[in-house]
Amino acid sequence: MNYAHEGNDTASPPAKVAAPPVNYAGQNRAKQVRIKPVRLPSGRTVFRVTGTLQSRGRQQKRIFSTLEEARACVETWERVRAGDQSTLRARFTRLNESEIADAEVAVFLLRDSGLSLAEAARRCLTRPSTQTTAGAVPSKPLNQAVAEFLTYHADKKTSAAQTENYRIMLDALASTAGEKTPVAKITTAQIERILKSRHGRDGGPISKKTWNVYRGDLAAFFSWCAARPRTWLKKEEDPVEPIKRYTKREMPRPLPVRLEVDVCRDLMHWLEVNAPEWCCYFALALFAGVRPDMVDGELAKLAELVRKEGPGGYFINDVLHLPATVTKDRRHRQTNLPPNLQAWLAKYPPTPEALNPKSHFRCGKIRHQFQIGHDALRHTAISAFVSAGKGIEAAALEFGNSERIIRSNYLNRFTADQAATFYAVYPTTDAPRINDGTKRSSRRKNRRRKVHAAL
């Protein structure tokens, strides 16, 4: 290309003109300061302030407990971000960035008080008790706190058994620490003394699982006392927290104890002859796995519903319907009644009295005679159901346990022949009569004595 002017043959190319500088300030501007409320797991709400104060600077973040303090921080940071040089001073200081930000917020809060930052700090140090206890709720005496705690769970519809467990442990706490002792004054040593003083059924020390249960009952009480709006003690002062809680690895769990098939047959035949009023109760617990606790168990709750509404809504088409208000896991459950259980219920109908005879002494004697452990009836029912080839998934639906629990505790506990024999236990009047020293045998002896005396 020829750059020569008119009349010239040659010419040098024009000098290059430098391009105007590009302003990248807009891309590196400090980000706007924002306030965001954050809800903590404890239920308390705090306010998080975030923003970038300088170009190409790091984002700053502060947490405040009140919205007023957060807004004061936002106003201070916005002045810095906007580059308001009339309000900024370059100073050498021993304070770090966080302390400088705190000082700026404090100055903002004191702007209408007429006090300097140093004078406000001096007044705060001369009156520490007023400042530290302002707005705090005083600790409550133990007896009053326990009464409110039990009332709270009664209103919450907590089960009667769990409420009774709370009451037992809190009575032990009151006898150890004193009823008038403030909740915040109870120590970890007192809690440990209570747990170590408990005894198992055999009179020895409690098991690790029972230790965890008792510890959990006390922990529930102190967590409730520390929660808002009560705050009768600080969460970091919870006396139960330092106490050891055993893990599952430290508590190897044995297989649940079940009954042998012969014991099941002898039990039901003995009941039919000697205690027919208990046949319905034991049949449902043994063949359907219904939890038999006479205070807060599923049979006790079912008995109350049958008393109010009749059995027609719960025994339908050979299926037992247990509503969520009855079951332990608060979920509706349907249990198919096996043919032998249908025969037992046909002969001994499920009336309220038959579902819950309400005689702890009599029930205890029967259990002791046949060596029936805790929940052994239910363990036997689930083991027989799975061994009969009805499947783990079906067992989880029928009995309200997870498949993992069914697989680990009840798989292959019976043979198929034993399960078939178990479901072949039908009612009969030909069972042998066993004399165990009950009132009926005593009355027979008395009648014989009167006959011999008359002769």
Could you tell me if 170 and 273 lie in one domain? no
Give the 3-state secondary structure of residue 320.
strand
CB environment 383-403: b (16+ within 10 A), e (fewer) = bbbbbbeeebeebbebbbbee
Question: Residue 224 maps to which CATH number?
Answer: 1.10.150
Where residue 401 sits, what CATH number does that domain have?
1.10.443
- Whether residues 412 and 312 share a domain: the answer is yes
Q: Average of pLDDT values for 237-253?
A: 90
Choose among 270, 190, 245: nearest CA to 440: 270
Are residues 168 and 122 part of one domain?
no
Question: Tokens at residue 284, please?
Answer: 């449902």
Question: Is residue 453 assigned to a domain?
Answer: no
pLDDT value of position 89: 56
Residues 394, 407: Cα–Cα separation, whole Å: 12
Domain assignment present for residue 63? The answer is yes
Q: Is residue 108 part of a domain?
A: yes
d(CA 448, CA 425): 34
Residue 5 lies in a domain: no
The continuous run of DSSP H or E covering 209 comes out as helix 208-226
Question: Is 395 inside a domain boundary?
Answer: yes
147 — phi, psi (to 5°)? -60, -45
Whether 349 and 373 have beta carbons less than 8 Å apart is answered as no
Buried b (16+ CB within 10 A) or exposed e, 211-243: bbebbebbbbbbeebbeeebbbbeeebbbbeee
User: Residue 16: is its pLDDT beyond 70?
Assistant: no
Domain annotation covers residue 225: yes
Q: Closest Cα partner for 341 from 286, 388, 378, 386?
A: 286
Query: Which pLDDT score is estimated for 29?
Result: 52
Q: How far apart are CA 270 and CA 266, in angstroms?
A: 6
42 and 149 share a domain? no
Q: Is residue 295 part of a domain?
A: yes
How many folded domains does the chain comprise? 3
Residue 159 included in any domain: yes
pLDDT score recorded for residue 34? 85
Q: Identify the pLDDT of residue 23.
A: 45
Do residues 125 and 154 share a domain?
no
Q: Please tell me whether residues 341 and 196 are part of one structural domain.
A: no
Whole-angstrom distance, CA of residue 215 vs CA of residue 194: 10
pLDDT digits (tens, 9 = 90+) for 328-372: 888 999 999 999 999 999 999 999 999 999 888 999 999 999 999
Distance (Å, rounded) from C-alpha 366 to C-alpha 356?
Answer: 15
Q: How are strands ordered across the β-sheet holding 34-39?
A: 34-39, 45-52, 59-64
User: What's the mean pLDDT when you consider all of the chain?
Assistant: 82
User: Do 54 and 109 share a structural domain?
Assistant: yes
Over residues 415-452, the pLDDT tens digits come to: 999 999 999 999 985 444 444 444 445 555 555 554 45
Question: What is the widest separation between alpha-carbon atoms in the chain?
Answer: 168
**Tens digits of per-residue pLDDT, 364-402?**
999 999 999 888 999 999 999 999 999 999 999 999 999
Q: Where in the sequence is the domain holding 91, given as residue range(s)?
A: 34-133
Last residue of a domain, one of 203, 225, 250: 250
Tell me what pLDDT residue 453 has: 53
Domain match, 205 and 331 both:
no
Specify the pLDDT at position 254: 80
Q: Report the C-alpha gap between 153 and 162 in whole angstroms.
A: 9
What are the CB-based long-range contacts (under 8 Å, 24+) for 194-202? Answer: 194/169, 194/218, 195/243, 197/172, 198/172
pLDDT attached to residue 107: 80
pLDDT of 82: 67
Same domain for 417 and 268? yes
**pLDDT tens across 127-157, in order?**
644 334 444 557 899 999 999 999 999 888 7
> What would the two tokens of residue 393 be?
């998934």
Helix (H) or strand (E) holding 48: strand 45-52
The rounded percent of the chain whose pLDDT value lies above 90 is: 50
Beta strands (DSSP E) in 254-294 are none
DSSP 277: G
Strand pairing class (333-336; 319-322): antiparallel
Out of 206, 227, 250, a domain closes at 250
**What is residue 72's predicted lDDT score, i.e. its pLDDT?**
84
Same-domain pairing of 217 and 69: no
Q: What's the average model confidence in pLDDT over 223-229?
A: 92
Long-range contacts of 248-257 (CB under 8 A, 24+ apart): 250/208, 251/207, 251/208, 251/209, 251/212, 253/209, 255/409, 255/413, 256/375, 256/376, 256/379, 256/409, 256/410, 257/373, 257/376, 257/379
If asked whether residues 345 and 381 sit together in one domain, one would say yes
The neighbour count for residue 14, using CB atoms within 10 Å, is 7
* Same-domain pairing of 113 and 217: no
Which pLDDT belongs to residue 40?
Answer: 85
Structure confidence by residue, pLDDT tens digits, 33-88: 888 888 888 778 889 988 887 666 788 888 888 888 888 888 888 777 766 444 45
CA angle 354, 356, 357 (to 5 degrees): 75
- Which of 115, 133, 151 is at the close of a domain? 133
